[in-house]
A and B are shown apart, each in its own frame.
Chain A
């Protein structure tokens, strides 16, 4: 178990010496080895729980981590970073991994929170690696808003702990014990705590009413940070939501469905409006991340676990790939294939990026196409079983309508990328091609029948 922390500790130690970027990428990529080992050997103890769900999330996160590490080899050339800034970036990248692994593997709500807070705080410095006033301001904003969101999560955890302390003692912190004894705990107190914690999670992921704070931060920071946010941190937060919502389902499913649907529709309304209005493609990608988290939330609470997990994995690969490819294609704050890659003989890069861009809007054979089909089926099943059939159908219709606005915007971005832009040649590094290939292969692996079967078996 402790082996999994070695790459992150090594990263922190090596960051104090002269940096060899290829070595750092190799060291941070090592995370995938223990992640695969843990994936194959689940276990549970008082503080940590490795089941199919979190070992799957850890594996996805470690693949994203490898992709980000690869892209970081060429990062200083792209941004003209000095040695000291690179050292500090790797130091906090190591701390980020450390906190994140604790959070993903935790079987204890308190330890989950500690890991998440650790990862959150370590990203603050990574935001301001880019030396600009906007990045400085966004780092402070992230510290303040992120701290409030994470405090709400802790507030909720304390109430949930209080709801079961008399029955379970210190085990009331334990996800597993809480789920097992859901019938014995103080339901009212648990639900209040759950609502507050989930609101904290939602704020951290940029849900209503804090839709723009994360998008602004992702725009102001460097692309690998945006990739870490969308591919890893959001998956870890979502895992916390999965764990708590499974307990809430045992306490009161209808409250969970009503709360999540109302929150989701408000968020989706705001996000689709903002995506329609925004002109900047990075902000569009960041806002679309919120849209996908909303979809995962409603698929999950509707009982579409397969759809939610497939969507989570697909989003974790697609979005970081798009963010990281932005450094190759960005031209005057626009995404452009035409000018940016002129003179570059390898046509593979534009082809891969095109596939990824079309994949994020669920064009088949993207895994998102399948996840949305199964997700909407789960939502219709919930509507059929509900006493409020027409209201539910109306809600699903509204969600589809809002999604179509986002679909339209992404098609526009794709068309602009194809036909607009000036003829300014830009270099593409080998590490970036390797990163794109890694994400594309991972995405293709998701649509294999064996992987479908595995994901379906995660939550029985």
Chain B
């Protein structure tokens, strides 16, 4: 089941890279976060870790429901351009994405050999980190860059739950608070400037 969920997680992240409309990008980010939350809940239930189940539930609440809704509200309020064509042409992205997925596996081979558990998930989470960075790089507009940063957070969350079977609860909660703070800052920056 986790394999299927991680498959959907990666698939939604890849779709984010090819999306050219802002609201659709937010939708794919929401779905990406939903699968991430489900992975955490499923993994937590499997190992009997209640903290991980709570983290997964908070992920769904904040990253699947709250953040995409707030970002959509900000985008509407400040008339942020909805057309977000990536600088990178689609045919190049089509080549780069599988290259990242395959080569990350070889790149992190020494790391995953040192992992006692979930080695493949660690490789996939590091690939998703690179894919999220690609999302930041390939866009000129600021809105998709923010979604790229939020996707980096998702990748790190996946890395944390797969490589360490979850971080301490306090740290997880602190990271969520930081994410909310980021959204507040983004709101203020847009309020006083608009997109450029």
Residues of A in contact with B (beta carbons under 8 Å apart): 47, 88, 108, 110-111, 113-114, 117-118, 121-122, 124-125, 128, 133, 136-137, 139-140, 143-144, 147-148, 151, 154-155, 158-159, 161-163, 165-166, 170, 172-173, 186, 188-189, 192
Chain B contacts for A121, CB-based, 8 A: 178, 181-182, 185
Instruction: Report how far A151 CA is from B167 CA in the complex, Å.
Output: 15
| A270–B122 CA distance with the chains assembled, in angstroms | 35
Contact in complex: B156, A154 (CB < 8 Å): yes
- Is A173 a contact of B168 with CB atoms below 8 Å? yes
Of B129, B178, B196, which one neighbours A114 at CB under 8 angstroms? Answer: B178
Give the distance to chain B from A323, nearest Cβ to Cβ, in Å: 23
Interface pair B171/A173, CB less than 8 Å apart: yes
With a cutoff of 8 Å between Cβ atoms, the chain A residues found around residue B142 in the complex are: 140, 144
Docked pose: A121 CA to B178 CA in angstroms: 8
B129 lies within 8 A of A155 (CB):
yes
B167 touches A155 (CB 8 A): no
| Option from A88, A143, A161 in Cβ contact (under 8 Å) with B167 | A161
Contacts known (A121-B182, A189-B111); A162 close to B171, Cβ less than 8 A: no
A192 to chain B, nearest CB (A): 6
B76 within 8 A of A: no
Q: How far is the CA of A188 from the CA of B108 in the complex (A)?
A: 12
* 13 further contact pairs, Cβ within 8 A, besides A128-B192, A147-B152, A161-B164: A110-B171, A114-B177, A118-B178, A125-B188, A128-B189, A137-B196, A144-B149, A148-B149, A148-B152, A151-B149, A155-B159, A161-B167, A166-B116
Instruction: Choose from B111, B114, B171, B185 the contact partner of A124 (Cβ within 8 Å).
Output: B185
B160 touches A (CB below 8 Å): yes
Residues from chain B with Cβ under 8 Å of A151 in the complex: 149, 152-153, 156
What 0/1 pattern do residues 174 to 195 of B give for CB contact below 8 A with A? 1101100110011011001100
Closest 5 CB pairs of A and B: A110-B171, A114-B174, A162-B163, A117-B178, A162-B164
Q: What is the CB-to-nearest-CB distance from B40 to chain A, in angstroms, rounded to a whole number?
A: 14
- A contacts with B: majority SS: helix
B133: Cβ under 8 A from any A Cβ: yes
> Which residues of B does A touch, CB under 8 Å?
110-111, 114-116, 129, 133, 136, 142, 145, 149, 152-153, 156, 159-160, 163-165, 167-168, 170-171, 174-175, 177-178, 181-182, 185-186, 188-189, 192-193, 196
Q: Is the CB of A158 within 8 A of B114?
A: no
**What's the Cα separation between A163 and B156 when bound, in Å?**
16
The residue that A159 contacts in the complex, of B111, B133, B149, B174, with Cβ under 8 A, is: B111
- The contact of B171 among A111, A148, A166, A189, by CB within 8 Å, is A111
Contacts of A163 in B (CB 8 A): 114
Q: Quick check: A47 and B170 within 8 Å, CB to CB? A: yes
A-B contact pairs, 21 of them (CB 8 A): A110-B168, A117-B178, A118-B178, A121-B178, A121-B185, A128-B193, A133-B196, A143-B189, A144-B136, A147-B182, A151-B153, A155-B156, A158-B156, A158-B159, A158-B163, A158-B167, A161-B160, A161-B167, A165-B164, A170-B168, A189-B115
